A = this chain, B = another copy of it.
Amino acid sequence: MIVEDEPSMVELLRYNLVSEGFEVCSALDGEEAMVTIAEEKPDILLLDWMLPKISGVEICRRLRRSPEHKSLPIIMITARTEENDRIRGLDVGADDYVSKPFSPAELMARIRAVLRRHNPNIGADTLEVADVVMDLVAYKVRRNERDLHLGPTEFKLLRYFMERAGRVLTREQLLDGVWGQNVYVEDRTVDVHIRRLRKCLNEAGDADLIRTVRAVGYCLEKEV
């Protein structure tokens, strides 16, 4: 998520991020940012130091105080190099700082570094849970050196699970996350796709990685 008041900068960043495979959302000022963060639940924040209404510094402070965003990775974008020392001095809890002007390549590198440090799964071009490896660039999934052939929905479903391994997800959450918010399909549909996903994953007689939690939903086990 980009928080930045200058539209041209937003577009520059968005272009670079999207072409690296990220999903991007943005906010133009601090107030909008707080709302959007809650709605979109970003995995990382690119936060401009200077912002209308609530300043970047203030957003950072607020986020660090809130329990569920305490560990949201933040990269601050600051205006001039000379200010850097001062900024780092009055550390507001950002994970990294980048000063304008910066090269997109450098920013991408820093983003990946911060994401990797925080959660090795997000932002990587490959997800790993138990003995399953998902290559997000090649759109391939392997388990135990065996290539799996998944349909589009099974792929998205497995990806959603792998990004949230160890959490029980309700059918409703899965429908929201995998199918989309305003799509109306039956709960039972999830069961069918779970079944297909299981079939592929456990083809070689491996243990079932997807745990059914009766009356709640399903969970991808972190470990075999």
Residue of B nearest to A216 (CB): B139
Known contacts A66-B106, A66-B109, A138-B166; is-contact A215 B38 (Cβ 8 Å): no
* Cβ-defined contact, B105 with A34, below 8 A: yes
Judge if A214 is at the interface, Cβ distance under 8 Å: yes
Residue of B nearest to A39 (CB): B104
Known contacts A104-B35, A104-B38, A104-B39; is-contact A109 B151 (Cβ 8 Å): no
By size class, the interface of chain A is: 35 or more
A137-B213 Cα distance, complex, nearest whole Å: 12
Residue of B nearest to A105 (CB): B38
- Residues on the B chain within 8 Å of A196, using CB: none
* This protein's copies in its complex: 2
Judge if A69 is at the interface, Cβ distance under 8 Å: yes
Judge if A16 is at the interface, Cβ distance under 8 Å: yes
- Residues on the B chain within 8 Å of A167, using CB: 137-138
- Residues on the B chain within 8 Å of A113, using CB: 67
Judge if A19 is at the interface, Cβ distance under 8 Å: yes
Q: Can you show 27 pairs from A to B with CB atoms below 8 A apart?
A: A16-B38, A19-B173, A20-B68, A31-B103, A34-B105, A35-B104, A37-B103, A38-B103, A38-B104, A38-B105, A62-B106, A63-B105, A66-B106, A66-B108, A66-B109, A67-B109, A68-B105, A69-B109, A137-B166, A137-B168, A138-B166, A138-B167, A139-B168, A139-B219, A151-B214, A152-B214, A152-B215
